[in-house]
Each structure stands twice: as structure tokens, then as C-alpha cells.
Structure 1
Amino acid sequence: MAGHNAKRKAAASLEQGDEDEDSPSSSESSDGFGSESEKEKDPEDDDIVNIDFEFFDPAEIDFHGLKSLLRTFLDGEDFSCSELVDTIIKQSTVGTTVKTSEEDDPIGVITALNIQRYHNLSCLREVCQFLLKQCQEEQLKAKLQEVWDQAGTGLIVSERLINCPPQLASPLQHALFDEEIPWAIEDEPSEELRNSYEFERFLFISRVYQDTMGPPQSGGHGKKQKGGTQPPTMVYARPEDEFYHRHSTWSFSFPVTSRPVQKDELQPLRLVMLLTPDQAATARKELYRVVGNAALGQEAAGAS
């Protein structure tokens, strides 16, 4: 990556069409891209626009936009959101925001926070308490508490507007895991900071959907329930989560109850997953192979 301190890290011109009204994205309240700018439109096809997306370091200018994006991180429960946003902004070397221009509000963010480094923060204690309260299996609850207390656990904070194009998935994962974290391990100014990015495991908190007629999955990995019946199908709002879930050490999910779900809607869930760095890397390779990764193509072009 060239010029990390002046990081306009990537840009993508993507075509975005109309969403199916019955898709999960239409069941989640959103203002769409909000700050998107229409560049070109085929007069014969009014359903497609070209949009430029750019990646930036989190910055003070993003405070209110990030707070709006993360205010439902605990599904409507009050928590120290401003503190979480401040932490993301101060840790600018590892973290990415997605915008349509430098002045616009972020429509997405991804970062990795070392839980032990920030264990005194109210926002992280509140996240832990929220997850422990929602976890219904005592064995999984014990595992969650164990990894939360261990050194080397990274909390992945990843949110973006529900109708962001899926093509953003690969470059965002690539920026965080394949560029920023290795850069920080090698180049942060102090040994303490460098060591704080030597993650031994990653804890993901994601948004998924499920048929309202079936019970929420717990334990994950598509295991059959008692009686030989298959659990309800999980619908992944973001492409990367399907691959991370497939390779996770353990996972559990719980319903989002902050808003009513209509009869014909899918039930929104939170999915919590634990992965080792090797498992996450394998999941990303599959993601890049299936979805593609424009960032890798740009690197190859630059090297030739």
C-alpha cells in the first residue's frame, strides 16, 4: 500500500441496480447510499447508476456519520457509542471507512479492536455484557467470556448500510486483514502497539436473516437439530459472513427484537463468530475466489 498516512486506499466504480422488495435489504430501515453521486446513466436503463466508492482512514470529520452508523450496534440498547466511535477514529492506522467522497458521511466501516488493550472502556464492557445476556447456551457463554478475557482477541467492528453493493466485501476484508494489520505489526512506532495487533483470534458480530417460522440457530455450522430436521436457512446480508461462518470455531445467533417483524419478512438476527487468523484467511481466500477482489487486481497491475 502506498502512502499509508495519506490513505485514500481504494476506489471502485460499481453499478448498483434496484433491490428486490422481498430481499432482506428492504426489510431493514435505511436511507440507501445517502450521499451517493450519480455519474453516468444509460438512458435505456433507469435502474442502474455508476457510483464511486473510496476508502479512507477514520477521521474526526466522520464522528457523527460513524455514530449514526453504529448506534444500533447493540440493536437498540443504550451504550457508549460516542466512546466506541472515538476509539475507532483514534486508531486510524487500522480501520477503514467507505465513502462516496472525502467530505461525505461514511456508509461503511471496518476495524479490529484489541479487547485487552481497550478493556477499561465502557463501550467494550457493554458489548460483552450484551453478548453474554443474549447467549442462551451456557457452554458457549463460557467460551465467549474466556476469549473476551484472553490476550490477543480482536473484536471486528464491521457495519455498512444494508444496501451497499456486495462488491465492497472483498476489498474491505483485504484492506483490514491483508494490509493494515500486517502493516501495524511491522511499522507501529512502539513495541507495545506492534504487539497489540498480533491477534490470536477474531470475534465477529454480524447481521443475518432467517425464516420467521423457524427458531434461531445456535452453534452454527448448519448442524441438524434433534429429530433429524435441518435448521432454517440463514440468509447473509454481507457476502463475507457466509464464508467466515463456514470456517468459524464456534458461533451463536439471536433474534433482533428492537423492531417488530412483519409476517412476510425475514427475522433479523445477530450472528457471533470466533475464528483463528488461519480460519479467517481461508474464509477470505474463498470469498476472493467466489466474489472477486479488485484490490488484488490493482496490486497485480501496479507490480507489472
Structure 2
Amino acid sequence: MVKKRVRDPEVLEDAPPAQDEGSDSDTSMDVVDVEFEWFNFKPDIDFHGLKSLLRQLLDVDHQLFDLSALADLILSQPTVGSTVKVDGEETDAYAFLTILNMHEHRDKKVMQDLTQYVVEKAKTNPALAALGSVLANPAAQVGLLLTERLINCPSEISPPMYSMLIDELEAAVEDKEPYEFTHYLIISKTYHEIASTLDQEDAPKQKKNKAIKGAKETFFFHPEDEVLQRHALAAGSYEYTKDMGDGMADSKRAFQEMGIKPQGSMILIEASKFEGAVKAISDYLNPQQ
């Protein structure tokens, strides 16, 4: 059973264990029994691991932000959000989830940069149009939700992180802390497949056309994002500012004939629908619970 340290350091709360995604489907494969543990953020332990995961989350556009300042801001609120680890609290996190009050931290340079980035990217996709209106509303209290995990980390660790966040936000609001939001904004990543630039001259025309046709379909790095979008006021993808071109996709091959091109993604959810969205994530990723 995994555990998460809650606001009272003397109290531990049980969280559902994450399941190995392939443990029951193929008995001939070796199964590694891993116990994930949930912890509060620890500034003296988590800085470098958190910074690395933020770099992965923001992909090539991480260069636009002061990740050290962003990591410090996250670590300054240790009782809201989680890290997920395997070998104890003193190790680097395999995953994290946190939330930042965009209004409360509006005077900080890194939040100003993030806000400007969000506003500009929202203009590039009509599906994100509502986001600009919400951020321009002085009455809106938007919680910027950031979460990332190592690529091979099972998606089943996600529902406990979201459920714990809801509990922690409720406790923080009871303690008169600035976590009473009107909206939640999740920054994430999607990708689409594109035709490889390698050996294109020798590729049959039929295969080329198939690859081009498949390029328009959007896929999710985080399966829970597909669920969250169903509850969203606005959701959509956008091109990275530091986009290095389609040729970069060959270094991120998903399949033999095709590369993948990552994109940024944003999901805006009204506070009244967030708890239902979190329950839907749990139902989707842990249907047997």
C-alpha cells in the first residue's frame, strides 16, 4: 500500500496502489513489483528532480522560462501537491503534480512569463479562445496545474495524485490559504504522427499518403488528459515556439515508418466540474476499484 504525507505530518493517508499495466496480460513476461510512495515536496531533496520533470513537460519551450525559479515556487508550497517515488523520500521523484495560483503569484517574473505564454498560445487555436477571456477577467482565480512523470511510469499513479490534490485544496481553503479557484488550467503535451524524412525518395507513394493522413490525429502523452478534455470549458493543442521542424520527429519515432511531433496542450476546467473530472480519471484508469 502506498502512502502520502498529508498536511499534518503526524498523519498518514493511504492511497490506492498503482498497478503494472501489463502484469495480467502476458504471464510469460517478467513482472517487476514496484511500490510507489507519495510524498509532500521537500525543497532540500526535490529541486533537481522537479526541474528535470518540468523540462520534460515543457519540451523545447522550457528554454523560455526560468525553471529554477519555477521549481522554487512549487517547492515553496510543500503541503499542496505530490511527488511519487520508489526508493524512499530521499530519492528523485518519478512523477509530480502541483497547482499554482496565477493571480496570487502574478508579480513573480516566472508566472508573468507563463501567463504571457498561455495567452499567446491560446490565440493560435480557436478551441482555446475561452482561455483568453477567463485570464482577462479580474474576478477569475485560475489554478495552474502542472504534472509530469517519467515516460515508463504507469498511468495508474495519476488518479491518486489528483484525488489527493482535491483533499489538500479543501484543507488549504479551510486554513484561509489562497487556493479557492474558479478554474483549473492544465498545461500538458500531445503529439501527432508525421511521415519520416528518412528514405522518402524510396518510400512507396501509398505509404507516404497513409502517413500524411495519419498526421492529423492527436494522441495523448498522458491518457488522463483525454478524460479531462471531456469536462473542459476549453481544450486544444498548439505548436511550440522553439519548434525545430518535422525532421526532429525522426529522433522520436513511435513506429517503424513514422515519427512523432510533440505539441503543447492546454485544458481549462471550471471549478464546479473539476471533482467530477477527477472521478472520471479514476474510473478510466482504475476501472476495477
Amino acid at match of 2:20: E
Cα distance change of structure 1 residues 66 and 234 upon mapping to structure 2, 3 Å threshold: same
- Does residue 1:237 correspond to 2:242, yes or no? no
Cα distance change of structure 1 residues 293 and 105 upon mapping to structure 2, 3 Å threshold: farther
Distance 1:4 1:138 in 2: 39
How many residue pairs match? The answer is 249
Superposed displacement of residue 62, structure 1: 0.6
Q: Which runs of 5+ in 2 are unaligned?
A: 196-212, 251-256
Match of 2:262 in 1: 268
- Does residue 1:15 correspond to 2:15, yes or no? no
CA contact 1:132–1:144 (8 Å) conserved in 2: yes
Match of 1:281 in 2: 275
- Does residue 1:156 correspond to 2:145, yes or no? yes
Distance 2:93 2:214 in 1: 39
The percent of aligned pairs where both chains have the same amino acid is 31
144-153 or 247-256, which deviates more: 144-153
CA contact 1:201–1:274 (8 Å) conserved in 2: yes
Match of 2:8 in 1: 5
CA contact 1:169–1:238 (8 Å) conserved in 2: no
Aligned with 2:73: secondary structure?
helix
Superposed displacement of residue 13, structure 1: 5.5
Distance 1:66 1:293 in 2: 30
Match of 1:58 in 2: 41
Q: Which runs of 5+ in 1 are unaligned?
A: 19-41, 214-228, 298-304
Distance 2:157 2:18 in 1: 10
93-102 or 76-85, which deviates more: 76-85
Over residues 192-251 of structure 1, what are the superposed CA-to-partner deviations in whole Å (9 max), with x where a residue is unaligned? x2xx111110111111222326xxxxxxxxxxxxxxx99933222222211111121112
Distance 1:46 1:53 in 2: 21
Superposed displacement of residue 83, structure 1: 1.2
135-144 or 196-205, which deviates more: 135-144
Taking structure 2 as the reference length, the TM-score comes to: 0.75
Match of 1:251 in 2: 235
Distance 2:170 2:179 in 1: 8
- Which of residues 59, 63, 83 in structure 2 aligns to 1:97? 83
Taking structure 1 as the reference length, the TM-score comes to: 0.72
CA contact 1:109–1:159 (8 Å) conserved in 2: yes
Cα distance change of structure 1 residues 3 and 110 upon mapping to structure 2, 3 Å threshold: closer
Match of 1:76 in 2: 60
Match of 2:188 in 1: 206
CA contact 2:162–2:278 (8 Å) conserved in 1: yes
Distance 1:270 1:231 in 2: 16
CA contact 2:128–2:236 (8 Å) conserved in 1: no
- Which of residues 10, 20, 30 in structure 2 aligns to 1:47? 30
Cα distance change of structure 1 residues 293 and 89 upon mapping to structure 2, 3 Å threshold: farther
Q: Mapping of 1:139-218 within 5 angstroms?
A: 143-149=130-136, 150=138, 151-177=140-166, 179-186=167-174, 188=175, 191=176, 193=177, 196-212=178-194
Amino acid at match of 1:53: F
Aligned alpha-carbon RMSD (Å)? 3.1
CA contact 2:18–2:156 (8 Å) conserved in 1: no
